[in-house]
Structure 1
Amino acid sequence: MRQSWWPLFYQTLGGALTIFLAVVFLALPVQGFPVSLSAFLKVASVPGSAILLLALSAMLGQIFLALLSLLALRSVSPELARTLARPLLDGGVAALVGGVAAYATLAFEGDIAPLTTLMAVFTQGLIAGVVGLAASALALYIVENKEFLIVASALRRLVRPPGRRTNVLAPSAKDPIQP
């Protein structure tokens, strides 16, 4: 097979896995895995929550496609694949930590105030999102992600504490000297 057909082949495999998983998940008994997933996501009382199974199958299909593409990249450009492995692993760890932190925050907040108004939903979602982002940033800091440290350093230089003076730049040869 020619090299240009491989991406189409990988996309087809990813799509086929997504469709296969969707059919399998939707054919499961209603009282089995679908109820467990709905209960875990705390949407068991919402009608039509079985649609989450389609989202799960699409997510798993895309993860499979990403892994397959990374393996294919290893055969085409081994050095590039190696350089992508660490940021992908760091990002996966940060996403997992952030998701767990946001979920725990929502579980904690759910015991405090019921989700009966739009403002309550918005506020709890905002707080959980900020906690999740902070946890993700902390995870990237702990694993010493190079890209995160570069961005943090640039932000530190951009935002300086009030009252702290910046260094004076020496005039260049093109600047006129004022009397």
Structure 2
Amino acid sequence: MLRLSSLLILTVFLGYVSASYEDKRCKCVCPSPATVLNNTVGSDRKLYIGNVPPNMCNCDGLILPRVGDLVKGREQEFCPRCECKYENRNTTIIKVVVIIVLWVIMLLVAYMGFLICLDPLINKRAKASYQEHTNEDDESTLGGPSQPISSRGNVLNRVTHQQDKWKRQVREQRRNIYDRHTMLN
């Protein structure tokens, strides 16, 4: 299981490394060239992304080479409406975080599978020796199947005992809240 998951993570990581991602980019949000040409006020904005040096991350360096023909002669009206930001990100850290999250999810799924497999064993034993108790103090006075945890040698019996105790507490809380309309402290 460990080898299989490690192989899967290594394959995913190598797949990411072979892909081409830009860690540095210029991102500009500008109005549509039609809004400048028609002198209309609109909320139609376009996103322009390019790989240019930080000193060229502006309207002249990124946007005008692309839409210069459309806004010819109206650059002074178009460019002040653009918002350009130079972004620098580390895709390696992003990849590592994604791999860690996937690893944690896989561990939790494996743990859930273990608990699902263990639940029938616990419930089978619990049903065989289950006696309803009204109070935890009565446990010590009753003889028989409900003995203290220390005398139970096996882990499964301890888990079953804790599960029964928790079920009793839940039943008591439900009775207090729904029947008596009080809460336990």
TM-score (norm 2): 0.27
Between Structure 1 and Structure 2, the one with more strand by share is 2
TM-score (norm 1): 0.27
Between Structure 1 and Structure 2, the one with more helix by share is 1
**Bigger Cα Rg:** 2
